[in-house]
Amino acid sequence: MEAAIGIDFGGTTIKSGLVAGGNVLKRGTVVDTQKAGGLEDLLGALVGIVEELRGEGVAGVGVGLPGMVDANRGVVNQLTNVAGWNSVPLREILEKRTGLPVAIENDANAMAYGEWRHGAAKDGRHVICITLGTGVGGALILDGRLYRGATMGAGEVGHMSIDYHGLQGHYGNHGALEKYVGNQQITDRAFSRYAKKGMGRIREQCTPAALSEAARAGDEIALGLWEEVGYEIGVALSSAIWLVNPDTVVIGGGVAKAGELVFGPIRRTICSQTGRVFHEHLRIVEAQLGNDAGIIGNAALALEAAADAARNPVRSV
């Protein structure tokens, strides 16, 4: 079985692994992104990870990064929360320094690709993946291929509107889903709701994890809030489902750990707000690969790029 190196370049840490058949065989040293230094130091760290993990039979390296990544041209246009990465031809740089074929990708796309190739969406052909965390990220697999869109921006379910007169998101977009169901927003809503009822809570008691625990113990406010959050996610997903008619929806990230508390209302909303042919065979499932989705997805993308290169040795840049 062919192996590849997958690197999950996050705003906080860089995690990596040697992967074959969707399994992480060996892990690379974790690098602290913010402490590593500037662009040149981070490039050095990436080369170091490749040297640490490479061995015979490694077909290539895949790197997923948070921001605007032009996967076709192999260029990082800009990173979120990491300074100095503007128009960096990362693929070319790493290929020269390591001698291995390199693929680069947006992090949300890489995670979705991992879930599709080796995780929760394995049998899907049309997949919406969303990650519920600080923000709400997303990615699409359409017609059996990673779908990137005209400017590599596709899949932003978190910026879709659920209320045309609602709260404004980062881009001026009214009713942006992540302004309702981001980690911080859930915490804020719980905090003010407990306060209103005269049931003072500190913020640490209002995090999504704490609210899951409270809801499981029967807390009415927490239960009600999960219903609302699930409904809101369900409305945005219903709009996405009307548009791209998927066979699989994968939901991951911290908020998804609430399990049926949030999956229940999400499923009920989708079933009550879409046509039958849109939901009767639709699978709505939790992500399976957890923190390894990026590592596994990037390795899978590296293998795919290597196979493409073998079929078609001249690559357009």
Q: Which one, 49 or 104, has the nearer CB to its own copies?
A: 104
Angstrom CA distances, 224 to 134, 175, 262, stand at 21, 20, 11
The three-class DSSP label of residue 60 is strand
Rounded to an integer, what distance in angstroms lies between the CA atom of residue 10 and that of residue 24? 18
Identified binder of its own copies from the candidate list 93, 142, 167, 223, rule CB under 8 A: 142
Residue with tokens 């879709």: 160
Q: How far is the CB of 222 from its own copies (least distance, A)?
A: 21
Query: For its own copies, which stretch binds (CB under 8 A), given 41-49, 79-87, 113-121, 245-253?
Result: 245-253
Distance (Å, rounded) from C-alpha 98 to C-alpha 45?
12
CB 129 within 8 A of CB 248: no
Q: How far apart are CA 169 and CA 156, in angstroms?
A: 12
Q: Could you give the 3-state DSSP secondary structure of residue 68?
A: strand
Using CB under 8 A, which residues numbered 262 to 281 contact its own copies?
272-275, 277-278, 281
Query: Per CB under 8 A, which region of 26-34, 43-51, 101-109, 140-148 contacts its own copies?
Result: 140-148
Q: State the sign of the Cα–Cα–Cα–Cα dihedral 197, 201, 207, 212.
A: negative
Nearer to its own copies, 154 or 211 (CB): 154
Which strand (E) or helix (H) includes residue 200?
A: none
> Which strands, in side-by-side order, build the sheet including 283-286?
145-147, 136-142, 127-132, 248-252, 283-286
Using CB atoms within 10 Å of the CB of residue 43, give its burial: 0 to 12 exposed, 13 to 18 middle, 19+ buried.
Answer: middle
Site string for its own copies, 149-168 (x = CB under 8 A): xxxxxxxxx-xxxxxxx---
Residue-level length of the chain = 317
Q: Which of residues 6-65 bind its own copies (CB under 8 A)?
A: none
Q: How many binding residues for its own copies (CB under 8 A)?
A: 52
How far apart (Å, rounded) are the C-alpha atoms in residues 64 and 16? 10
Question: Which one, 201 or 279, has the nearer CB to its own copies?
Answer: 279
Q: Which is nearer to its own copies, 147 or 191 (CB)?
A: 147
Q: State the nearest-atom distance from the C-beta of 85 to its own copies, in Å.
A: 16
Task: Name which of residues 167 to 186 contact its own copies (CB under 8 A).
Answer: 171-175
**Whole-number Å distance between alpha carbons of 201 and 190:** 9
Residue spans of alpha helices (H) in 30-98: 39-53, 90-98
Q: Is residue 316 at the binding interface for its own copies, with CB under 8 A as the rule?
A: no
Binding mask 55-94 for its own copies (x = CB under 8 A): -------------x--------------------------
Q: Which CB, 117 or 159, lies closer to its own copies? A: 159
Contact mark string toward its own copies, 95..134, x via CB under 8 A: ------------------------------xx--------
Q: Which amino acid is at 165?
A: H
Residue 297 in tokens:
């997805």
Closer residue to its own copies (CB): 37 or 144: 144
Binding site for its own copies (CB under 8 A): 68, 125-126, 138, 140, 142-143, 145, 147-157, 159-165, 171-175, 231-232, 235-236, 238-240, 242-247, 272-275, 277-278, 281-282
